[in-house]
Structures are given as structure tokens and as C-alpha cells.
A = this chain, B = another copy of it.
Amino acid sequence: MNRFLDLAGLARDEILDLLRLAQRLQDQPEPQALAGRILGLVFFNPSLRTLASFQAGMARLGGSSFVITPGQGTWQLETRDGAVMNGGAAEHIREGIPVLASYCDALGVRAFAAGKDLAADLREELFGMIDALCDKPLINLESAMNHPCQALADWRTLDEQGIPERGRFVLSWVWHPRALPLAVPTATLQMAALRGMDVVVARPDGYALPAQVMDRARQLARASGGSVTETADRAAALQGAHVVYAKEWGSTRHYGDADGDARLREGLTDWCVRDSWFDAARPDARLMHCLPVRRNTAVADEVLDGPRSIVRREAFNRLVVQMAVLHRLLKPGVN
């Protein structure tokens, strides 16, 4: 394994193997496993958990890391192929990525969607370019349409909580002051489908996930014995839920049109998870969220501070599963 870019692109056995390795590293720490190994981290977009958990994870395995944040201490990097660079960006990723890769043993890159052209974002054009430019093991720290580290952490969290593989997983759109990328809902949906769950995507009209995303999820569900449906009827979706996975994302009807999206979401502020959402769910239903979460707009205090919330555990599991990913990428052949 020298790429960790897309959880749904792995075979189920490979995922289960990563989860077993994560558990083993928890039970029997290997503080020297990656001694002398260096992880480069490039953040085109801001980070809290990803930065801290990757730096901590490398350190717990005896390795080290460096961080590059274009625009903060480092100039902006150009990403457009063929660009005439007479604007703000001082360096192209065609130089930047291979150079940084040459300094380290593995590279992690965060590069969100441009959010203007849905088809381009679905093609993962930017991350595809980064992938082609990097001759070291590469980790997707969130791309236009993916977030495999989050998805793997969430799978582990579902296992830990004893959520049945065939349980009802409601991925629900929630309100946010502005349009956010589709990366997490896409990765979450595909993870739950791959795990074999009965997945319901609850979202208002205008916020359907792209057909291509839904189709892939349905295909994954077919192979795993799960199912994928979608609805704008939130109350129906929440019936019998084992898990409510709350997530904010932008309107696909108004993709790249901030004003259109803003008008549409104006009337949707009741899509804030409250205790009442769980009235018809299973008694022990859980609230999941990848964080960061805006309190009292996306999820109410009463839920985040109550016993249903497992959002902190999801975040902790980022560290746990990423150590397994680092181990696989940087210490191959000895697992």
C-alpha cells in the first residue's frame, strides 16, 4: 500500500486489516516503529484535528513531521495546469509537491474542492494532479470529494459502539451559514454502504448528493448487503435510526452559486439536530459528526452535551486509525 486516497476503493479485507492493526497498536504500542521516518503535511485548507492527530500519531510511532501551509508562512501555490503565473501564486504544485515529497517518506495533503464546477470537483482533478506528482506514499487529508481518514475513524467508532453492521444509518443534512464541500458526506455515505448498513440520506430539496455519488454508494451497498436510499422527509428517515450522522453541505442545485445557495438555506434553520429528532429513533441511537460542528445551528447543545453524542470519540479515533495507515505506508512488509 503506498496510497491512502479513497476508503471505498479498498477491498473490505484491507479495511478490516487496517482496523485490526489500529487496535493492535492501541494494545501494544510500537514507539519505535517509524523511527527516522518523516511525514510531510501540506494544508491548502485549515485544520485542527488532522494536523494535531497526524503529528501526534507520527510521534507516537517514533517518527516526525513537518507542516507546510500555503499562504501562511509559505506563499500561495498555483494549481492550474498551464497557468501564466503573473498573479498571487509564486510557485506551482508541479514543483512544490515533488520537492516536498523528496524531503519526506510520506506526504499528506489537504486540498478542498474549488466549489465552482461540480463535474470538475467530482473528477478530483486537483488531487489527481497531486497524486501524479508525488512519488512517495500519499495520504488524502480531505480532497474535493473524499476524506478517507474520517471515514475509517467513523467505521472504527461504529464498531466500538456495537452498532450492528446492518443497522440504520441516517446521514442528515444540517444547517450551516454557508455552503460546505461534499467531501465528508460522500466519504461517510460510501463508508456506511461499504460496511453493509441501511443508509438513508435525509436532505432538503436542492441538497441531493450528486447522482454519481449516490450510484457508487448503491453499488457498494449491493456488494456488502446493505442499502442506500434518500429522502427529504426527515421524520421518516429518523424512524428506527441507530445513528444520526449530521453533516453540513452546499446545495448541488446551486453548486458554485453562493447567493442561490444562501436563499435556499434561509428557510432551513430547523435542520439543527435537537433531542426531539431522536423521538422515533432507537432508544440508544447515537449522534455522530466529523467536527468541527457549529453549536446551536447544526447541532444543539442539548445533543452534543448529552449521552447520545460520540463526536469526541470519532475525533480520537482519527489518531488511532491514522497510526495504522502510517504504519502500513511506512513500514511495509512487517505487519
Contact = CB atoms under 8 A, between A and B. Distances in A.
B295 A83 contact: yes
A325 to B, nearest CB: 15
Interface string A261-302: 000000000000000000000000000000111111110010
Q: Which of A83, A96, A99, A319 has the most CB of B within 10 A?
A: A99
Interface string A195-227: 000000000000000000000000000000000
Contacts of A75: 46, 48, 292
A74 B56 contact: no
A47 B74 contact: yes
Q: Contact size class for A?
A: 35 or more
Nearest to A54: B66
B51 A73 contact: yes
A90 B180 CA distance: 12
22 contacts: A29-B36, A31-B35, A36-B59, A36-B60, A38-B60, A40-B56, A48-B74, A48-B75, A52-B66, A69-B73, A72-B73, A84-B295, A85-B294, A85-B296, A86-B294, A86-B297, A90-B292, A90-B294, A95-B291, A95-B292, A96-B292, A102-B312
> What's the number of copies of this chain in the assembled complex?
3
B312 A95 contact: yes
B296 A84 contact: yes
Contact of A296 (B51, B83, B99): B83
Contact of A103 (B53, B84, B305): B53
Contacts of A82: 296, 301
A95 B52 contact: no
